[in-house]
Chain A
């Protein structure tokens, strides 16, 4: 993992472990991709169940299962789910726009990961809240460039 893009931001490697989000957020491309989707909305941690492998043997086909903790009805529902990969050549992976007519705010998909990294899932709710969950994934064989 390179530290070059984070110069002046982290005092040492300990900070990387204790404040993972700041470490991610120092990556301009990831921040830009996130803001392109959710604008300036504040982000709340939690509220999403994310199922991914801790080690992905094949980075070309990494199964991802996302379930937002919300009823999916007209009063309260998730309107969008966005997936980002922090160390892919391009961080944007996919977005889903959800109707309140879905049984629940759940989607399963398969994504590409180039190397060991974090995936960030954001859920936009109909009341404007944005939830976030982050997961570390180790990748045995990269799935983007090979």
Chain B
């Protein structure tokens, strides 16, 4: 459980026009083991992300709470209206206290 989380990926445009609506995609490689699944007759240990927090220029834009029904390798898409150069900071947290971060800048 002490291995670091994998490096998340964000897809966001590098530049945008003022007022433009941009699509942000995020992908985090993670097994999202619920502890319910069996493999070769044994239960696979629970290993889940709990949250993804998206900040734009320091302010929380979107927070996702993951429960058992979230797929492995959580993938999310959301939309942001550009009101100026935007620094996106996204953090993923897991149940054992590990975290992973990704950043992107959308320049106007």
Binding site for B on A (CB under 8 A): 60-62, 65, 83, 85, 88-99, 101-104, 106-113, 143-146
Q: How far is A97 from B51 in the complex, measured between Cα atoms in Å? A: 11
- Contact yes or no, B67 A110, CB < 8 A: no
B79 touches A112 (CB 8 A): no
Which bucket holds chain B's interface residue count? 20 to 34
Contact B70 A111 (CB under 8 A): yes
**Bound form: Cα–Cα A109–B56 in Å:** 20
Cβ-based interface call for B76 (8 A): yes
Say which residue of B68, B71, B78 sits within 8 Å of A107 (CB atoms). Answer: B78
Q: Main SS of the interface on chain A?
A: strand
Q: Does B62 contact A (CB under 8 A)?
A: yes
Q: Provided the pairs A102-B79, A144-B37 are in contact, do residues A90 and B67 lie with their beta carbons within 8 angstroms? A: yes
The one of B61, B64, B68 in contact with A101, judged by C-beta atoms closer than 8 angstroms, is B61
Is B69 touching A101 in the complex (CB atoms < 8 A)? no
Cross-interface CB contact of A60 among B21, B72, B76, cutoff 8 Å? B72
Contact between chains at A103 and B80 (CB < 8 Å):
yes
Contact B70 A106 (CB under 8 A): no
Which A residues lie within 8 Å of B59 (CB)? 99, 101
- When distances are taken between beta carbons in the complex, the residues of chain B under 8 Å from A89 are 34, 36, 68
Known interface pairs A97-B60, A108-B78, A109-B71; 15 further A-B residue pairs with C-beta atoms within 8 A, sorted by A's residue number:
A88-B69, A94-B64, A94-B67, A96-B62, A96-B63, A97-B62, A99-B60, A102-B61, A102-B62, A103-B81, A107-B77, A108-B76, A109-B77, A110-B74, A112-B71
The verdict on B38 contacting chain A, using a C-beta distance below 8 Å, is yes
Q: In the complex, which residues of chain A have a beta carbon less than 8 angstroms from the beta carbon of B83? A: 101
